[in-house]
Amino acid sequence: MRLVDALFSTEPMTAAFSDAAFVRAMLAFEAALARAQAATGVIPAEAAGQIVAACAGDWIDLDAFARESVPAGTPVIPLVRRLTARVQGDGRRYVHWGATSQDAIDTALMLQMRVGLDLLIEDLLGVAEACATLAERHLGTVMAGRTLMQQALPVTFGLKAARWLALVCRQVEALHGLRTRSLALQFGGAAGTLASLGVDGPRVTERLAAELGLPAPDLPWHTERERVGAIAAASGVLAGSIGKVAADLLLLAQSEVGEVAEAAAPGKGGSSAMPHKRNPVDAIEAAAAARLAVGLAPVVLSAMVQEHERAAGGWQAEWSAVPDLFRTTAGAVDRVRRALAGLTVNPARMQANLDRTGGLIVSESLSMALAAHAGREQAHHLVEAAVRRAVEQGIDLRTAALADPEITSVLSPDAIDAALDPAAYLGSAGLFMDRALATFATVRQEISRDAI
């Protein structure tokens, strides 16, 4: 295992996009092609059997295969040559029949991306599960909401987790939709006409698609890459979403904030020089992997500009960028899942941080309470003045408010206290949490129903 795969990916995703898996997927294409052509009477059934038999197993010397691909400019040439040599009997005359190298490569990529999407969905459901658990557990854990890196208004940690959950659920739905909309067989022959199959092209295509469980597209799409582009773009959006959760965790885990910490484990998060540190290692690796993934998505997008009927450069760049994109996206999702699943939440620190402003964080609550009587503008001015006095005199907002006759003329001390209780100024936070949890239940059900 390469260091970068260990750090920024997962074992299943690394395996799904390994050279071995790529070769296996291309051989799956060749075997399915033979079966489909036998079934449609294009090649003899015996020949197909011989081809299918030769496709089985991990028999290719991957290193030699890689080296031979270089002068060929495509891995399919050495693959087909080696496969042909391996096929017994007449079958060797029908290897790769009517197909072009891009048919094998693109279909293999689609098969790999299908695995990749399933792995991502599975891991995302794990993230969602962890978020849901946190949301339920912390329905009532009040903390500071922060805007522009400043304390703004109270929220709950449950709401924060619920918003992550809603974000993740929408990503699950997005990937699930792509699985239906954007996966497709590639099969067009050398210039996309299936010319070498004469009139049999469409029937072979249907059967081949069925063999592989991939949708048959209306037309070959060798240089119309919007399917690959859409999947890459969705990975980028997913990585950006996951990066947001990782960023929040890193900010909450700062020494001065201390509201969350990652689970301690032997060998985890220690520092080589600072024995007291507990670094948020999972969130860091998630943040790094998410950055990498977000950076790889545009490589695929800009490679979409592909020439004529087969591209000279853009298509080939996908062979590197798409696997790297899946690998790093998976790493980001997995590490955020780990971080959330083992998260230590510190409600006492949340409360202490919330108290730090001496009530300023609920000044809007006071402002709204006043506004009901004095109008938004006047209320804003009164509270602004009280805030200023509180800051200047180093007193809390309650004291400053009680000292202002313009405020006390419309609000009683009890009303002021009520207005300054963070836990009473949470608006629809509870409703929002409920909605996110309900959506998760629905999404989970949909996914498990559709799972193959």
User: Which residues belong to the active site?
Assistant: 271, 310
CB of 47 to its own copies, least distance (A): 9
For residues 131 and 341, is the Cβ–Cβ distance under 8 A?
A: no
CB of 147 to its own copies, least distance (A): 3
Rule CB under 8 A: which of 309-368 touch its own copies?
309-317, 319-321, 323-324, 328, 353, 356-357, 360-361, 363-365, 367-368
Rule CB under 8 A: which of 430-449 touch its own copies?
431-432, 435-436, 439
Angle between helices 157-181 and 101-137 (to 10 degrees): 160
> Binding residues for its own copies, how many (CB under 8 A)?
190
Give CA separation, 277 vs 7, 27, 262, 273, 283, in Å.
20, 50, 12, 9, 15
Rule CB under 8 A: which of 278-297 touch its own copies?
278-281, 283-285, 287-292, 294-297
Cβ-based neighbours of 207, under 8 Å, separated by 6 or more: 35, 36, 39, 40
Q: Does residue 389 touch its own copies according to CB under 8 A?
A: no
Rule CB under 8 A: which of 1-40 touch its own copies?
1-8, 19, 22
Q: Does residue 62 touch its own copies according to CB under 8 A?
A: yes
Longest dimension (CA), the chain: 101
Nearer to its own copies, 267 or 452 (CB): 267
Nearer to its own copies, 390 or 452 (CB): 390
In the list 68, 206, 417, 421, the residue contacting its own copies (rule: CB under 8 A) is: 68
Rule CB under 8 A: which of 134-173 touch its own copies?
144-155, 159, 162-164, 166-167, 170-171
In the list 391, 402, 410, 418, the residue contacting its own copies (rule: CB under 8 A) is: 391
Nearer to its own copies, 130 or 452 (CB): 130
Q: Does residue 377 touch its own copies according to CB under 8 A?
A: yes
Residue 294 CA to residue 292 CA, distance in Å, equals 6
Q: Which two tokens stand for residue 183?
A: 């996966």
CA-nearest of 97, 82, 84 to 50 is 84
Nearer to its own copies, 146 or 444 (CB): 146
Q: Does residue 392 touch its own copies according to CB under 8 A?
A: no
Angle between helices 101-137 and 314-341 (to 10 degrees): 20
Nearer to its own copies, 167 or 452 (CB): 167
CB of 255 to its own copies, least distance (A): 4
Phi-psi group of 240: left, alpha or beta (phi > 0 → left; psi -120 to 50 → alpha; rest → beta): alpha
Q: Does residue 402 touch its own copies according to CB under 8 A?
A: no
* Amino acid of residue 179: R
Q: Does residue 109 touch its own copies according to CB under 8 A?
A: no
CB of 451 to its own copies, least distance (A): 22
CB of 31 to its own copies, least distance (A): 16
Q: Does residue 375 touch its own copies according to CB under 8 A?
A: yes
Residue 164 CA to residue 145 CA, distance in Å, equals 14
Rule CB under 8 A: which of 203-262 touch its own copies?
218-226, 229-230, 233-234, 236-237, 239-241, 243-244, 246-248, 250-251, 253-257
Provide DSSP, 419-451: HT-GGG--TTHHHHHHHHHHHHHHHHHHHHHH-
CB of 243 to its own copies, least distance (A): 4
CB of 167 to its own copies, least distance (A): 4
Nearer to its own copies, 139 or 166 (CB): 166
Residue 12 CA to residue 167 CA, distance in Å, equals 24
In the list 189, 212, 339, 401, the residue contacting its own copies (rule: CB under 8 A) is: 189
| DSSP assigned state of 74 | S
Nearer to its own copies, 225 or 337 (CB): 225
Residue 317 CA to residue 281 CA, distance in Å, equals 32
For residues 277 and 190, is the Cβ–Cβ distance under 8 A?
A: no
Tokens 């559709």, residue?
A: 450
CB of 231 to its own copies, least distance (A): 10
Provide DSSP, 74-113: STHHHHHHHHHHHS-GGGGGGTTTT--HHHHHHHHHHHHH
Residue 124 CA to residue 118 CA, distance in Å, equals 10
Q: Does residue 55 touch its own copies according to CB under 8 A?
A: no
Q: Which two tokens stand for residue 219?
A: 């037309």
Nearer to its own copies, 339 or 452 (CB): 339
413 burial level (CB within 10 Å; 0-12, 13-18, 19+): exposed
